[in-house]
Amino acid sequence: MSTEARVPEAVIARLRPHGRALFWPNLALIAILGVGGYFFGTFAEPWQNYAVLGAVVVLVLLLWLLPVLAWLGRHYTITTRRIVLRSGFFVRVRQELLHSRGYDVTVRKNAVQSLFRSGDVFINTGLDHPIVLRDVPTADLVQAALHDLMELSQNPVAARRQQEQSATDGESSAWGMR
């Protein structure tokens, strides 16, 4: 180990997609419960009332609970050393990206995302597909923070090599002398 004291990893931000994603599921929940409450008990046969109740339960599960669980199951954690992406509810997927590896950060916003100052943050690591932080609140701030963290966590070995190469014998690379 190095003689330098290692700085502990600190959490900079914990994010999840913008809460705006829950607008339609919550609107559907209100509509389903309103329609179910209106029609439940109006039929003469008990099985028909239970069918209305069953339809309400199924629709609430499909149109409200599943989207809420999908939203809750996606986390983005930015620390001083890495980005951790976790997704999934029953099957968890965890992806990590070190700041010291270097990457390109791009923000893409559509019209609705621009109104709410959110956006999709694309992190291009040079691999086939970029890593995407979907619909992140304050996407421009996230981009600036990632640029700063990447700059601060520059690989110390690469920095030392660069310093050594720039200070070789005081020579200019173009002329071979001062």
Residue 140's domain spans which residues? 11-16+80-164
**Amino acid letter at 116?**
F
pLDDT for position 163: 55
Q: Which two tokens stand for residue 177?
A: 């002398």
Cα 176 to chain centroid distance, Å, stands at: 49
Report if residue 134 sits inside a domain. Answer: yes
Q: What is the pLDDT along the chain (178 residues), one digit of tens a residue?
A: 454 556 788 999 999 999 999 999 999 999 999 999 999 999 999 999 999 999 999 999 999 999 999 999 999 999 999 999 999 988 899 999 998 888 899 999 999 999 999 999 999 988 778 889 999 999 999 999 999 998 887 755 555 555 555 555 455 444 445 4
Do 32 and 49 belong to one domain? yes
- Report the pLDDT value the prediction gives residue 178, as an integer from 0 to 100: 47
Length of the chain: 178
* pLDDT at residue 160 in the model: 56
Is residue 113 domain-shared with residue 94, that is, in the same domain? yes
**40 and 107 fall within a common domain:** no
Considering the domain architecture, whether residues 44 and 111 belong to the same structural domain is answered as no
Q: Is residue 2 part of a domain?
A: no
Query: Could you give the 3-state DSSP secondary structure of residue 121?
Result: strand
In a domain, 178, yes or no: no
93/157 same-domain check = yes
Q: How many CA atoms lie within 13 A of 136 on its CB side?
A: 24
Amino acid letter for position 133: L
Query: Six-digit token pair at 110?
Result: 């559509």
From the centroid of its chain, how far is CA 60?
26
Q: Residue 80: what are its φ and ψ, rounded to 5°? A: -70, -15
pLDDT at 127: 76
Q: How many domains does the chain contain in total? A: 2
Residues 84 and 67 reside in one and the same domain: no
- Cα-based distances in Å from 8 to 13, 20, 81, 89: 15, 34, 9, 29
Does residue 174 fall inside a structural domain? no
The predicted pLDDT at position 175 comes to: 47
Give domain status of residue 67, yes or no.
Answer: yes
Q: Report how far apart, in Å, the C-alpha atoms of 96 and of each of 40, 77, 108, 150 are.
A: 49, 9, 21, 14
Quick check: is 61 in a domain? yes
- Identify whether residues 97 and 136 lie together within a single domain: yes
Q: Are 145 and 78 a contacting pair, CB within 8 Å?
A: yes
Residues 107 and 46 in one domain: no
